[in-house]
Amino acid sequence: MTTTATRATTPAPAADPAPGGNAAGAVLAEAARRRTFAVISHPDAGKSTLTEALALHARVIGQAGAVHGKAGRRGTVSDWMDMEKARGISITSAALQFEYRDAVVNLLDTPGHADFSEDTYRVLTAVDAAVMLIDAAKGLEAQTMKLFAVCRHRGIPVITVVNKWDRPGKDALELMDEVAERTGLTPTPLTWPVGISGDFRGVLDRRDGTYRRFTRTAGGATIAPEETLTPEAAEAREGIDWTRAQEEVELLAASGADHDQETFLAGYSTPVLFASAVSNFGVAALLDTLVDLAPAPADRPDADGGSRALADPFSAFVFKVQSGMDAAHRDRLAYVRICSGVFERGMVVTNSSTGRPFATKYAQHVFGRERESIDTPCAGDVVGLVNAAALGVGDTLFTGSPVSYPPLSTFAPEHFAVARAMDTGRHKQFRRGIDQLESEGVVQVLRSDRRGDQAPVLAVVSPMQFEVATHRMEHEFHSPVALEPLPYTVAVRTDATSAAAVAASRGTEVLARGNGELLALFRDKWDLRSLRQRSPELTLEPMVAAQLD
């Protein structure tokens, strides 16, 4: 059966419905159609390729591309920065929305490079489910595990996709054991490969026992035709490969590896699919699984320990700010996740962090560099607000009764460098650029009285963020900077009471973030451990994803 899909254009109900009324029911009905998820993985596992394949199967685009755009193959729609195209990686986040079957799918493509975990973490605050992409040959890699830990911390249900099954790799049962041992989740495969890795014929659908046979297309640029065969026809065609797949599926059933919706939503099990994104094999099954199994938006916990109901007046939070997407306009786009109510173009909302009104002229779905205006996005949608100079990462926007959502956490930085303007006559441009990079979350900016405002410390998860910062400082803010690396590798939180004693320790420095939070920087974890042993009364709290063991 062929399922068609289009860009989401379904009109939403009027803004700010009264709970219990017809409008409130319409909001709940529209929210129930939403599926908002992110794709997470280690670098080079095929995340951008999968994003493109999903868009292709949803009929949003007519032909799939690859990141590099080589030899007649289009560049992926979701990767737009020059650095992304040159390196073949995702640095910024792309938000795609489309209709599939009776659902509205919001897909957040996240930076895949290990150097951009902090941005990926912020994206994970805006989703209701995650697709964990695993390279069939490499299994669960370091970055995958780090991002999975974030999903577990937030209670995000995870669907696992074993990608690149068309290439030589590990045994399928071995991969299931690895998922179980390293994540603690029970893998419950929905499909099972027919043919070993490197010889991908199709999949056995465990739900009905049929064989979904794939046919390759030229370069994987179009949807791969699928043929559904009965078990008898599959055995006649595939012989020993089908028999082996059936035997392995029987082992899975005997071990209790069958899908259970309650344990999936509770974070105890993970449905598993086998695919080849570059060949478009198994991608339709992933879309169907997301629609059928992934959770719809629910009432959102607020910072006061309560929750904002889906049918309450409009509220949203900013999880990503991006500048420079349109060089002709020098605009600033704020990605927001709508948590309740609906948005109407032109409505005036309140920024809870400042108490000031913010006039919204446009809300847009952002598809790479392409934009499409939308008037009334609903709870569960992710949209971009243009001309968002007054908004920062973590801000809550609302109408009606006030609400503030919990602040977004940051990863522990591991690399530090002092930034200085190469042209001291352009100090205003230097400060403006540094402040904007900080508000967007591109880098963490640390300051101290000793270093002064002209020599802030840039703190990042990994070095490539330095490259992004220096590139933007030169080309966007016209203030080239020189970076002086610092010897620190560990940052922990401290407080004003402990700051003086911490700073007096050898090889340690205390600096302040823009929100006033104090960070203590150490050369290595051994220096930190030594200070803790000598002065256990000092406040030295680990940050999210700190590698201190």
DSSP H helix total and E strand total for the chain:
14, 29
- Average pLDDT, whole number, for the chain? 83
Residue 294 has pLDDT above 90, yes or no: yes
Q: Judge whether 310 and 28 are in contact, CB under 8 Å.
A: yes
| Amino acid in position 473 | M
Of 60-74, 386-400, 402-416, 484-498, the poorest mean pLDDT is in 60-74
Give Cα separations from 186 to 259, 269, 376 (angstroms): 9, 4, 39
Q: Rounded CA gap, 205 and 362, in Å? A: 44
Residue 20 pLDDT? 45
Q: What is the mean pLDDT of residues 330-342?
A: 84
User: Which two structure tokens, joined as six digits, stand for 481?
Assistant: 């900077």
Q: How many CB atoms are closer than 10 A to CB 86? A: 10
What is the mean pLDDT of the segment spanning 92-98? Answer: 64
pLDDT at 3: 39
Q: Is the pLDDT assigned to residue 107 strictly greater than 80?
A: yes
Nearest alpha-carbon partner for 382 in 128, 126, 111:
126
Please report where in the chains the tokens 């590990």 appear, as a residue.
Answer: 170
What is the pLDDT at residue 14?
A: 45
Instruction: DSSP letter for 425, please.
Output: G
Give the lowest-confidence range in 135-149, 213-227, 406-420.
213-227
pLDDT for residue 284 is more than 80: yes
**pTM assigned to the model:** 0.79
pLDDT, residue 363, reads 64
What CA–CA distance (Å, rounded) separates 97 from 114? 26
With left for phi above 0 and alpha for psi between -120 and 50, is residue 156 left, alpha or beta?
beta
Amino acid identity at 447 = R
Could you report the per-residue pLDDT of 431-440, keeping only the tens digit for each?
999 998 888 7
First-to-last alpha carbon distance for the chain, in angstroms, is 52
CA atoms within 13 A on the CB side of 110: 32
